[in-house]
Amino acid sequence: MPSPSKPPTRRSKRAAARPFFRFYHSDALRDKTVAVLSAIEKAEDGTKHRPALADIVVELTSAGMNYFYLEPLRLAKAGFLVEQSAGLGISASNSMMAPVIRTIINRMDHAQLVAVCKYIRLLMK
């Protein structure tokens, strides 16, 4: 891990070289995501877009969970019962996380929302 005394550019280059996982999602979800991010980034006060951003984060979370957990089960032909059990667990997890996500995003100010948008865009590259 780089020491705090090193210049930020060195940390940035190191962060860019780190391993990562990404997931595929629908074109429609990407279009909605880009529209919401752009609306917040262009707005003088992006706080009016908090509910839309919260919805996008919830949808992206659900899409990621499906991609990383359910899709491998389908590919492995794990069976109907296993897939249904996993789907039920993921659905329950998403149901618990959604209100937390909404609460947190609905308390953010404009600068915090823009930071979240910037991070989501980084993940989209």
Tell me if 1 is assigned to some domain. Answer: no
3 state SS of 109: coil
- Tally the domains of the chain: 1
In a domain, 89, yes or no: yes
pLDDT band at 7; cut points 50, 70, 90: very low
Give the Cα separation of 101 and 55 in Å (integer). Answer: 9
11, part of any domain: no
In a domain, 100, yes or no: yes
Q: Is 102 a domain residue? A: yes
Please check whether residue 98 is in contact with residue 58, taking contact to mean a CB–CB distance below 8 angstroms. yes
Is 5 inside any structural domain? no
For residue 72, being part of any structural domain is answered with yes
Does residue 88 lie in a domain region?
Answer: yes
pLDDT tens readout for residues 23-63: 999 999 999 999 999 999 999 999 999 999 999 999 999 99
Distance CA 70, CA 64 (A): 10
Domain extent, residue 98, equals 24-124
Q: Select the more confidently predicted residue: 111 or 5.
A: 111
Evaluate if residue 64 carries a pLDDT over 50: yes
Q: What is the pTM of this model?
A: 0.81
Of the pLDDT bands very low, low, confident and very high (cuts 50, 70, 90), residue 21 is: confident
What per-residue confidence (pLDDT) applies to 107? 98
